[in-house]
Structure 1
Amino acid sequence: MFIDNSACNLASLNLMKFRKEDGTFDVISIKKAVRLFIIAQEILVDNGSYPDKLITVNSHLFRPLGLGFANLGSLVMSEALAYDSDQARALASAISAIMTGAAYIASVELASIKGPFDQFDKNRESMLKVISMHRQHACDILESYCPHYLRNAAKDVWDEVFDAGTKIGFRNAQVTVLAPTGTIGFMMDCDTTGIEPDIALVKYKLLAGGGMLKLVNRTVPMALERLGYSVNDIKATCDYIDENETIEGADKLNPEHLAVFDCAFRPRNGKRHIHYMAHIKMMASVQPFISGAISKTINMPKESTKEDIIEAYMAGWKLSLKAVAIYRDGSKRLQPVSTKKHGETKSKAVVEAPLPARPYRRRLPDTRQSITHKFSVVGHEGYLTVGLYEDGQPGELFITMAKEGSTVGGLMDVIGTCTSMALQYGVPLITLVDKFRHARFEPSGMTSNKDIPFAKSLIDYIFCWLGCQFIPGYADKNMPNRAAAAPATENITTAKELVEKTRDLAHKIAEATNISGKKQETAAPISSSGSATGIRPLVGAAPVGVRSIDEQVIAREPETAIRISAEPTQRMGVLLGSTVTDSSGSLQAETAVMEQFNAQFAHFSDDAPACDICGSITVRNGTCFKCYNCGNSMGCS
């Protein structure tokens, strides 16, 4: 933790590498290692790559470094000390003081050659004040809990730092932090990371590439040996841990020594774990000797309450910690290191639940039969090619439009690919047909297929054709049945009935003519032009005796006569008895209406659209169009 927009070049030391065989700590070796690391990190300040210009500037102006250590938990256990003990905290304080002091000495040495960091003169008093506070805390390390050689080494190194720094200055504004070392800790073969205790004596780590790694603490034999256990007892205890994943209940272990082997998390088959306040106290014992902050997780049990978390944060603030991070066990669905194998759960039902089935793709043979169908929808031509399985069922669909590179062609390619994948993964064809049939968008209209005369869209046509081609019974339900007879109604007359009615009507006309001749003996003879006294002229009249039925006059009274129209539509109406009227005026009006109706269908407008209900060609009706087949209006009421 330093000024805003600054970087920190991290490095860490494995403390177990400085433990001698007799259990003492090698002070001389760690000083040499610190000096070498500081020089290397100082070189990286100028050769490093930074994400932001401001970070680059501040890194060059203050040159902060971040040397730290890892495996403190293993070192404490190897010394047969409980992590939650004053002796362990004093040991961590002394080692931190020696490391940071040796780092500042190396920084002074670099400053004597390269000069202090650029902002040292502006911050000289503040910098020396911080160094003085570090020195004072080194003198306050409890002598009763810390080995004398470590406490004396810490005091000596900070005396040297203060004297040299006051005369020469420092090359780096900061030199140490404590990083989590979650990744490099495993690379350095550490049992514990950073300042952390061990998570558990037996733990499982999820690997990024898949799989799981079982990690067994290797420090237990050292601790048991330092506690005075025999070789056989040590072996028996280690075997018990490997089998039960906890040391609790081991026959050869003295219950008074259990605290030495306490870990951050409660083991799967045990009850003991380190209290969360022990983590905070360990951080507080080390913080006075670290330039920056401590990145450490305060591990709390799963049953921790909101009040426990508040207490932890307040304790960290009261003990002058620069940073506090809390993790409650089990709060995440997955955690990289845990005391249980991945996937284990207390619920037996969940363990026995079957895994979800993996979708199976049924691929077509390399050489297969296929069907190709050419279609056209409102002038948009294309080809459908359906690849078949051995049983004749469709397994793939290729849609090729006549216009290469068009937007419609690209969309059809995507539809074909999606349909092929769906069929090969087992989606029933009827499901696809039901889903995509009747999709309405342009282009839509008449097709070249007499079985599918009208399509609401290209998709509607394609899936309708697939259903008719491959789904049994689908064509019978969806194609037009032209062979079926039209339903009989009152207004429909068959040809046989028409002939019979025509004969009967001709007979009646003949009788009416004879009666009319007797009543009109004094009437003038009809001329060839079709005119006579009291009788209206006939259309296309023929000589009497050879007149056609169309030209006969039914004279019911001498003063009235009804003319039978020569128009085909009206002539048919007369024969069927549906258009005979009592006056020639109403008959002529009806004839005019029929002529106007027929004129509408004599020539369709070029812009007449197909009916969106039945597909028939519509006729202009004002500014809109109307379908005379089903009565649908295309916009006007």
Structure 2
Amino acid sequence: MTEVVQSGSEGATASKSASKPAAPKAAKPAGRPAQAFSPNGLAVDRIYTTAGAHPYDEIEWERRDIVMTNWRDGSINFEQRAVEFPTSWSVNAANIVTTKYFRGAVGTPQRETSLRQLIDRVVLKYRAAGEEHGYFRSAADAEVFEHELTWMLVHQVFSFNSPVWFNVGTTSPQQVSACFILAVDDTMDSILNWYREEGLIFKGGSGAGLNLSRIRSSKELLHSGGTASGPVSFMRGADASAGTIKSGGATRRAAKMVVLDIDHPDIVEFVETKAREEDKIRVLRDAGFDMDLGGVDITSVQYQNANNSVRVSDDFMRAVEEGTEFGLRARSTGETIETVDAKDLFNKVAKAAWECADPGIQYDDTINDWHTNPESGRINASNPCSEYMSLDNTSCNLASLNLMKFLTDEDTFDSEKFVKAIELIITAMDISICFADFPTEAIGVNTRAYRQLGIGYANLGALLMATGRGYDSEGGRTLAAAITSLMTGTAYRRSAELAAVVGPYDGFARNAEAHARVMRKHAAANDAVRSVHPADKSVLAFATEQWSKGNELGAKNGWRNAQASVLAPTGTIGLMMDCDTTGIEPDLALVKFKKLVGGGSMQIVNQTVPRALRVLGYQQEQVEAIVEYIAEHGHVQDAPGLKLEHYDVFDCAMGQRAIKPMGHVRMMAATQPFLSGAISKTVNLPETATVEEIADVYFQGWKLGLKALAVYRDNCKVGQPLSAGKSAKVDEKVETATSKVVEYRPIRKRLPKSRPSQTVSFAVGGAEGYMTAGSYPDGGLGEVFLKLGKQGSTLAGVMDAFSIAVSIALQHGVPLETYVSKFTNMRFEPAGMTDDSDIRMAQSIVDYIFRRLALDYLDFDTRSSMGIHTAEERARELETGSYAPIEDEVSEDELESLAQSAPVAESKIESKPVELKLTDSSKAHSSTELMESLLGSSADAPLCMNCGTKMQRAGSCFVCEGCGSTSGCS
């Protein structure tokens, strides 16, 4: 029997090699371990590779220069020249791998210089450990294993989690797990040990979670007669500790989760903790302090380094449903010390999540009903992103597949190749436990005893779009369910085969019946999936076969692993694999920015879009027209020739046709029955969502059988939002019909010889300058001149020319708001902090200039629709809920009436009329809509502490697409 042990540049330049460079020598494992081949070992078949040829020899390689700059002052914060990558890898992927995963000090001979060295460092260690521990039948099988893993990694078919790339094959401890669950008891020794253990885990590049419910509440007495501090007070110390540690050697922030049971007497204090802190952040931000992620002043606010979750029971949720009372229980005696209204408490949880996105929710009885090891203890907590849920003091190593790599040229899912890839990946993941180091003895003992794995995937959103399925559709959910079932069924079948070779996990005998019961539940859920689509039926047939074979083998051999699968956020590794979408998420937007070799970026329509249009039956001319429309507008609404029934295929997380909140929940519910763990996913809600809507999402998550759920309401946390204001609502009422109209072709209206002007001095990211703006007698802007100091003659000359071009266009009648919408949010160096109290951060000098001009020359409604406000207006919004002065507020009904009755405004610029016929019946869309679609959820996200790029959500965390930094787990 096994007992659970408890313990208290962004840009990069590239130059293609004239010929294939010689392969750098990979670091060999120190000493060759003893080989233990056996006739009962695994026979490994080739999937991708060719006998007699190494995978590297079939790839075209090139040398690139990786240079990353500091977004605040333009200084170089990373530089490595002539690194080697396949030509097929994007600039982004190469940048991220070089800066995050290459080991050795830059500029020394020990520094890795090629992707070959990185992959060999990891794969050769896995092969050696597999040979040493008796996994393979022969040396030939071990070599095939090595070559197949290498091929899949270099071709971005899958990736191990970040700690593997950080640590394996180096002189550091061989920590391979990304996810840890700790335990804390109601003693000071245990609480202080909690701080220590978290620090060790963060140092290795991983995250940890734990349940604080064993700690006595502030409403209970100590043995000495005093009153206990309560768990929330001890969270302060852990939060401060996490805030000083960067995971994996300064590669990313510490990631942590704290959980409290719903029946804990301090539950209300826990629920409201981060909402109160968010109020402080807003006040400090509006006072001019730097409160962005990584900002110098954010450390003055508490509890910002953890995700908070409430663990709810079925009893509590039934009390919410029935409107009855619920008891809060003392930790020391178990007696009820307070009775509360269950619905009122549930609404407090929803209100706090509405205010600051915390707490998330975990459904305790559902989690433990799918627990394969209940005889060894309950599942009390999760890792920071809520996908790994298992026993206390355990860990899980992750790997994720790139689903788009299994989409054939015929637009079908290659189930056979998917199965073969999973067999190899699960084998490698299990091998890693044999040599892995762990931060504490208890975690090491328990992980080796239960061998939890977390295989998952990324790029589901892209796959669904590419096959012509809407994310929020029955077809989309069915294919997702079938693929997830196939993945986990195959993983457990391979686990049963491994049990025959190297034995079941140590804790299996004690939990044999419980484990088998959960396997039957998974198989029954698979049998309940129904589909009429032939492609889905094929995937489901493969999945059914895997569950049948796996359960048959498991009954005979047992299983090697207590858990097999999760759906992780895949932040950094998703970028490493050049995935369009992370984890189980839909696409963020149809138009994105792509980094270019040599620096810079370009705006492109996702390549998944034309593929989806061809699958849906559109001809090439139609595809080109629709793609061109999307490139201009950022969405498909009213795209020429696109059928209404196909709109939902192109729905994204944000923008014109954002997926409804319950669309996210339904997708999670479709895949949850086929996962050992849970799903790291955030349900996005619009800024206008109510507390009641969030409560309903949390309630429906329980009804649909989820294990955990997190929400994010746009603009609920500090950031610079893009919003569609009142003027946008008026625009929505305007219809354009086919008619004879007069087009005004403007002529230049020159400024008078003597005109009013104002000069503003500014500093952006340390670069100083002056802007002089001249206006017409009526106050309209007519010219802009920019003078930059100490920037060199070239940049000064370019800015002079730019000023003249803008000035001439303004005098020809181009509205200032057109320039503001086009040039705000444009990012290049210098960028960063400014000396302007109204505009504390700017992504470039151009971004600052047009924000300043908007504040000085545009009316309130126009610039408010673009999300541009003064410091005074932001402060007013905090106090009153509105940016507008009280006397300027207009009701929705008054606006609508005004829109219907207002005549067309006359141009103030002299014009020459030309008679034209317009036949375009599409609605006019403001440029702010396009920007909102392009930026997606990053409009409300923090700036990356490393490169200044707006981050994007990946599960419960943020990830930077510019440099791969994350705000939490990967």
TM (norm. structure 1) is: 0.51
Deviation for aligned residue 1:72: 0.6
8 Å CA contact 1:265, 1:339 repeated in 2: no
Where does structure 1 lack aligned partners over 5 or more consecutive residues?
347-351, 362-637
Would you say 1:98 and 2:521 are equivalent positions?
A: no
8 Å CA contact 1:66, 1:174 repeated in 2: yes
What is aligned with 1:321? 706
What is the 5 A alignment of 1:226-265?
A: 226-265=615-654
Specify which of 421, 424, 437 is matched with residue 49 of structure 1.
Answer: 437
SS at match of 1:123: helix
Give distance in 2, aligned partners of 1:360 and 1:164. 68
Give distance in 1, aligned partners of 2:390 and 2:600. 39
Give distance in 2, aligned partners of 1:358 and 1:14. 38
What is aligned with 2:670? 285
- Compared with structure 1, are the counterparts of its residues 326 and 215 closer, same or farther at alpha carbon in structure 2 (3 Å cutoff)? farther
What is the 5 A alignment of 1:392-471?
A: none
Give distance in 2, aligned partners of 1:206 and 1:228. 31
8 Å CA contact 2:682, 2:709 repeated in 1: yes
- Compared with structure 1, are the counterparts of its residues 6 and 231 closer, same or farther at alpha carbon in structure 2 (3 Å cutoff)? same
8 Å CA contact 1:63, 1:174 repeated in 2: yes
- Compared with structure 1, are the counterparts of its residues 238 and 339 closer, same or farther at alpha carbon in structure 2 (3 Å cutoff)? farther
What is aligned with 2:822? none
Per-residue CA shift, 1:73-100, capped at 9, x if unaligned? 1111111111111111111111111111
- Compared with structure 1, are the counterparts of its residues 152 and 357 closer, same or farther at alpha carbon in structure 2 (3 Å cutoff)? closer
- Compared with structure 1, are the counterparts of its residues 205 and 183 closer, same or farther at alpha carbon in structure 2 (3 Å cutoff)? farther
8 Å CA contact 1:70, 1:193 repeated in 2: yes
What is aligned with 1:483? none
| Larger Rg, first or second structure (1 or 2) | 1
- Compared with structure 1, are the counterparts of its residues 145 and 356 closer, same or farther at alpha carbon in structure 2 (3 Å cutoff)? same
Specify which of 162, 166, 175 is matched with residue 555 of structure 2.
Answer: 166
Per-residue CA shift, 1:261-306, capped at 9, x if unaligned? 011112xxx3x21101011111111011111111111111121111
Give distance in 2, aligned partners of 1:213 and 1:305. 37
Per-residue CA shift, 1:384-414, capped at 9, x if unaligned? xxxxxxxxxxxxxxxxxxxxxxxxxxxxxxx
- Compared with structure 1, are the counterparts of its residues 204 and 277 closer, same or farther at alpha carbon in structure 2 (3 Å cutoff)? farther
Specify which of 118, 122, 126 is matched with residue 506 of structure 2.
Answer: 118
Higher mean alpha-carbon deviation, 66-75 vs 323-332, is at 323-332
Give distance in 1, aligned partners of 2:645 and 2:557. 52
What is aligned with 1:156? 545
8 Å CA contact 1:14, 1:69 repeated in 2: yes
Q: Kindly provide the amino acid, as one letter, of the partner of residue 265 in structure 1.
A: M
**Greater percentage in strand:** 2
8 Å CA contact 2:605, 2:627 repeated in 1: no
8 Å CA contact 1:200, 1:265 repeated in 2: yes
8 Å CA contact 1:15, 1:72 repeated in 2: yes
SS at match of 1:324: strand
Deviation for aligned residue 1:46: 2.2
Specify which of 576, 588, 592 is matched with residue 199 of structure 1.
Answer: 588
What is the 5 A alignment of 1:11-410?
A: 11-144=399-532, 147-203=536-592, 216-266=605-655, 270=656, 272-334=657-719, 355-356=762-763
8 Å CA contact 1:202, 1:339 repeated in 2: no
8 Å CA contact 1:293, 1:322 repeated in 2: yes
8 Å CA contact 1:8, 1:65 repeated in 2: yes
Deviation for aligned residue 1:56: 1.5
Identify which of structures 1 and 2 has the higher relative contact order when contacts are C-alpha pairs closer than 8 Å and 6+ apart: 2
8 Å CA contact 1:191, 1:218 repeated in 2: no
- Sequence identity, in percent? 47
What is aligned with 1:439? none
Per-residue CA shift, 1:571-626, capped at 9, x if unaligned? xxxxxxxxxxxxxxxxxxxxxxxxxxxxxxxxxxxxxxxxxxxxxxxxxxxxxxxx
SS at match of 2:694: helix
Give distance in 2, aligned partners of 1:326 and 1:213. 32
8 Å CA contact 1:108, 1:170 repeated in 2: yes
8 Å CA contact 1:71, 1:194 repeated in 2: yes
- Compared with structure 1, are the counterparts of its residues 212 and 295 closer, same or farther at alpha carbon in structure 2 (3 Å cutoff)? farther
Give distance in 2, aligned partners of 1:339 and 1:76. 28
Give distance in 1, aligned partners of 2:532 and 2:522. 20
Q: Kindly provide the amino acid, as one letter, of the partner of residue 306 in structure 1.
A: V
User: In angstroms, what is the RMSD of aligned CA positions?
Assistant: 2.8
Deviation for aligned residue 1:256: 2.5
TM (norm. structure 2) is: 0.34
SS at match of 2:523: helix
Give distance in 2, aligned partners of 1:49 and 1:230. 56
Give distance in 1, aligned partners of 2:632 and 2:402. 29
- Compared with structure 1, are the counterparts of its residues 327 and 215 closer, same or farther at alpha carbon in structure 2 (3 Å cutoff)? farther
8 Å CA contact 2:399, 2:456 repeated in 1: yes
- Compared with structure 1, are the counterparts of its residues 355 and 224 closer, same or farther at alpha carbon in structure 2 (3 Å cutoff)? farther
Q: How many residues align?
A: 344
Per-residue CA shift, 1:170-223, capped at 9, x if unaligned? 11000110001121112111111111110111246999xx99885642210111
Give distance in 2, aligned partners of 1:251 and 1:29. 38
8 Å CA contact 2:604, 2:631 repeated in 1: no
Deviation for aligned residue 1:148: 2.0
